[in-house]
Amino acid sequence: MRRKIVAGNWKMNKTLSQGLDLIEEIISASSNSSVLKIIAPPFTHLTAVAEKLKSKTDFAVAAQDCHHLNSGAYTGEISADMIASTGAQYVIIGHSERRLYAGETDEILIQKLNCALASNLTPIFCIGESIEERNANTHLEKIRAQLKEALFQLSPTDFEKVIIAYEPVWAIGTGLTATSYQAQGVHDYIRTEINKKYGKGISENVTILYGGSCNAQNAKELFSCADIDGGLIGGASLKADDYTAITNSF
């Protein structure tokens, strides 16, 4: 049975002391231990946050990105091995903001996936379409291409270790949200494509999260959909009450 997950991506927010205060608030407010709560703070916070959460079986820590090589003269970059050494267990790969602002290509993302898996990190791999692709009704073609060009390069054994996050780019930080009908339709499509590639056993067990302005008000409806296993949360994860309300929406 697929585990329910709510991952909070803090992006470039919170100093270390502010982040640790937020973690304390989230721990205090948390009441749904059946949901895995993955916290993705800035790199600078990983070790301290992992230490805070190490005894909490319903919490885990993720990095927001990793470099596509294991080491080298890459000033300012962080490798998957370095992330794993902090106590983090997950890493977000292919977020739309990384694709847009850092120009990340499918070739780079394949390397990041391989580095993450080699370091025993679980990738949370993001895919999604632009508003132009949605309006042109080519969004499913975009989703299929992103699956094929990156994730479908993995062996069945490695693919089973991946979490997928569907994030319609037009619904990130815009206040717009896909309707539950739209979101479920894409999640069902993703699972169908995985079934074609890897078979029903794998497709039925892969966790697929929704990430696109999911909040305390719409989470319950989104999470009630058959193929939505939780959320990758942005802004709402920066407030303990909102994040906890989302985790209680199953």
Question: Which residues neighbour 205 within 8 Å (Cβ) at sequence distance 6 or greater?
Answer: 2, 160
Nearest CA to 125 among 98, 93, 155? Answer: 93
For the annotated catalytic residues, the residue numbers are 95, 167
CB 42 within 8 A of CB 8: no
| Cα-based distances in Å from 29 to 17, 197, 241 | 19, 41, 7
Question: Which residues neighbour 159 within 8 Å (Cβ) at sequence distance 6 or greater?
Answer: 151, 152, 194, 198, 202, 206
Coil, strand or helix: which one is 94? coil
Task: Give me the residue label for tokens 């479920």.
Answer: 184
